[in-house]
Amino acid sequence: MSEQTDFAGILEKNEGSILAAWVEGQLSGSTRQGAISDGELKESSRAFLSSFTKAVKSDYNEQLSGEAWQPIRAHLTALSRERVIQGFSPAETATFIFSLKKPLFDLLRKEFGKDSGRLVDEYWKLTQTLDQLGLMTVEAYQNTRQEIIERQQQELLDLTTPVVRLWDSIVALPLIGTLDSERTQVVMESLLDSIVENEAAIAIIDITGVPTVDTLVAQHLLKTVAAARLMGAECIISGIRPQIAQTIVHLGVDLGDVVTKATLAEALKIALRRVGLAVGKIAPAKQDN
């Protein structure tokens, strides 16, 4: 009998006791017992242990390179994704694998305790295997968390670049925060889509919420203006505070023939005139004596 088949047979014979000891170890060492039920933890552990036993029986190698380990990889990827959502840390997630060491080491000691050479070999091979699985778990956790962060960043960009329809054929884009290259692309796409959707002739870009305007920010604004003009819409930039005006002059930035205004209200007045509209006060209604 080969070592590979021998160890797999030991796992199959003792799967119940291994599972019980493993689950108990996870529950006793967990700081987030409320995030996952005991039943869910036991079922996930049982499914993993079953797949682990099959993989060991088929291809017990420390590199985990064979197809027999694919179900293990899939299980750990799914588990890591769930743990990220549940708020587990990378260390807490990796404990799922590392907590399996003790019950398996105890079993090896029981089976090969009288053969020190064999015991050391089995210890070393199992340690390498579980360490690889632990690293795989942490990597899957990090990849999942990065995906979530990137998706949240994109959602935040979308939320911070809303295009508002102010009037027929007039839209406004209030900008808040720093305007970098990535965000400029989102701004352009949002503005151009809104111009098409609303058949807008005037687009007001309000930079009241932009903390500073340097050469790079000014270039991004001009690119956005140029893109809007290609779609047939004229742009007005509002929110030009005294500090920003001084900075633009100091940097020698040429905004060309772009109309600029200090406030959104002033920009809206010009936009209304450009489309043949005006805002005026309503005369107070006469009261009967």
pLDDT digits (tens, 9 = 90+) for 7-28: 889 999 999 999 999 999 888 8
Sheet holding 164-167, edge to edge: 164-167, 170-176, 202-209, 234-238, 259-261
On whether both 92 and 149 belong to a single domain, the answer is yes
Distance CA(205)–CA(259), nearest Å, equals: 10
On whether both 142 and 220 belong to a single domain, the answer is no
For residue 165, is pLDDT > 70? yes
Asked, for residue 279, whether it belongs to a domain, the answer is no
For residue 6, is pLDDT > 50? yes
**Number of domains making up the chain:** 2
Q: Which of these, 105, 125, 109, 127, lies nearest to 25 by C-alpha position?
A: 105
102-116, 165-179, 246-260: least confident range: 246-260
Percent of the chain's residues with pLDDT above 90: 48
Distance CA(75)–CA(200), nearest Å, equals: 51
For residue 72, is pLDDT > 80? yes
Distance CA(60)–CA(10), nearest Å, equals: 13
More confident residue, 216 or 20: 20
On whether both 142 and 175 belong to a single domain, the answer is no
pLDDT score for 1: 41
On whether both 103 and 197 belong to a single domain, the answer is no
pLDDT bin (cut points 50, 70, 90) of residue 30 is low
pLDDT score for 8: 87
Distance CA(257)–CA(249), nearest Å, equals: 15
On whether both 133 and 233 belong to a single domain, the answer is no
For residue 241, is pLDDT > 60? yes
For residue 269, is pLDDT > 80? yes
Domain coverage including residue 259: 164-274
- pLDDT tens profile 181-213: 777 778 888 889 999 999 999 999 999 888 888
- pLDDT tens profile 133-164: 999 999 999 999 998 888 877 666 665 668 88
Q: Where is the domain boundary, 109, 131, 156?
A: 156
On whether both 85 and 178 belong to a single domain, the answer is no
87: alpha, beta or left, given left = phi > 0 and alpha = psi -120 to 50?
Answer: left
CATH of the domain at 20: 1.10.490
On whether both 124 and 223 belong to a single domain, the answer is no
Length of the chain in residues, anyone? 289
For residue 76, is pLDDT > 60? yes
pLDDT score for 124: 93
On whether both 30 and 138 belong to a single domain, the answer is yes
pLDDT bin (cut points 50, 70, 90) of residue 281 is confident
CA dihedral 159, 165, 166, 171 (to 10 degrees): 90
Q: Where is the domain boundary, 139, 156, 173?
A: 156
Asked, for residue 287, whether it belongs to a domain, the answer is no
On whether both 149 and 70 belong to a single domain, the answer is yes
On whether both 75 and 169 belong to a single domain, the answer is no
What is the pairing mode between strands 259-261 and 234-238? parallel
pLDDT score for 33: 55
On whether both 99 and 38 belong to a single domain, the answer is yes
For residue 106, is pLDDT > 90? yes
